[in-house]
Amino acid sequence: MRFGGLTAVDQVSVDFYAGELVGIIGPNGAGKTTFFNTISGVLRPTSGRLLLAGKNLTGQRPHRYAQQGLARTFQTPRVFTDISVLSNIEFGLKFAGRRRKRYWFWGDETSVPWALRDAGGILSLIGLAQVAQLPAAAITPSQQRLLEIGMALATRPKMLLLDEVAAGLTEGELEEMARLITRLRDELDLVVVWIEHAVGTLLRYVDRVIVLHQGQKIADGKPIDIIHDRVVIEAYLGDEVLELGQDLR
């Protein structure tokens, strides 16, 4: 991905597998969000390809990505503030998450996980059922972050891209968010890709970590291997991260 003369993300090649929770870390300006924008269709990559379950999505419009099951959240919550929390969830269900009606008397959807069948299910999954009727502007920022995830889930994704969903949360909220994310992976069988600056928490939950630095992938592996990687320590993590070692798999 290039902007004029600046190469923001340079030949990063990654495979994501079903049911995997992948973390992406890297210093500020490493190109994490640009990488996300590129693989979610918001930006058109200058070169490279994107395959989702064998389908080539390169150069398509973002709504095609959403329809094919690739959902994302944004770094700052971008919920529709004028309408209620419930309607925010319903928005996704009415567009990318819409179920095509093939014929009359079309029975219950069986291919979709129970929790994602309607807006109520999604709300209770992310734990916002009690504020469903409030306008989205009236809920707290940490609830808005949850709502972002809910809106993404409403598109019935196969793959969920989370861009710093836990930024600005307290220690407790952060743990809760991490547990929610692992639950999403386990219960809904999603591929979850998670960008976060709270490296300690991230490393404890994810199955695999990708480290970006100055637009390049410098490491890709299990958390325990990453924290012992010399290149990563030099570029980003520093020595003190080794103390995390005992909590990790």
Q: How many residues does the chain have?
A: 249
Among the listed residues 62, 113, 135, 221, the single contact to another protein using CB under 8 A: 62
Other Cβ atoms closer than 10 A to 49 = 10
Does 155 interact with another protein (rule: CB under 8 A)? yes
223 part of the interface to another protein, by CB under 8 A: no
Instruction: Return d(Cα 73, Cα 89) in angstroms, integer.
Output: 13
Q: How many residues bind another protein (CB under 8 A)?
A: 29
Is residue 11 a contact point for another protein (CB under 8 A)?
Answer: no
Among 10, 82, 187, 189, binds another protein (CB under 8 A): 82
Q: Is 95 in the site for another protein (CB under 8 A)?
A: yes
* Cβ-proximal residues to 239 (8 Å cutoff; 6+ apart), any chain: 233
Q: Pick out residues in 123-142 that bind another protein (CB under 8 A).
A: none
The angle formed by the CA atoms of residues 136, 184 and 34, to the nearest 5 degrees, is 70
Token pair belonging to 180: 């929610």
Residue 43 found at the interface with another protein (CB under 8 A):
no
- Interacting span for another protein (CB under 8 A) from 35-43, 103-111, 174-182, 186-194: 35-43
The residue written with tokens 């299990």 in the block is 222
- What is the side-by-side strand order in the sheet with 159-163? 70-72, 159-163, 191-195, 21-25, 208-213, 216-221
Binding test (CB under 8 A) with another protein, winner from 7, 16, 27, 42:
42
Report the run of H or E that residue 166 belongs to, with start and end: none
Is residue 38 within the footprint of another protein (CB under 8 A)? Answer: no
What phi, psi does 175 have (nearest 5°)?
A: -60, -40
CB 120 within 8 A of CB 150: no
Does position 65 bind another protein by CB under 8 A?
A: yes
Q: Does 159 bind another protein (CB under 8 A)?
A: no
Residue 31 found at the interface with another protein (CB under 8 A): no
Q: Which one, 155 or 201, has the nearer CB to another protein?
A: 155
Q: Which amino acid is at 13?
A: S
Examine residue 80 and tell whether it contacts another protein (CB under 8 A): yes
- Judged by the rule CB under 8 A, the positions of this chain that interact with another protein are 40-42, 61-63, 65-67, 71-72, 74, 78-83, 91-92, 94-98, 151-152, 154-155
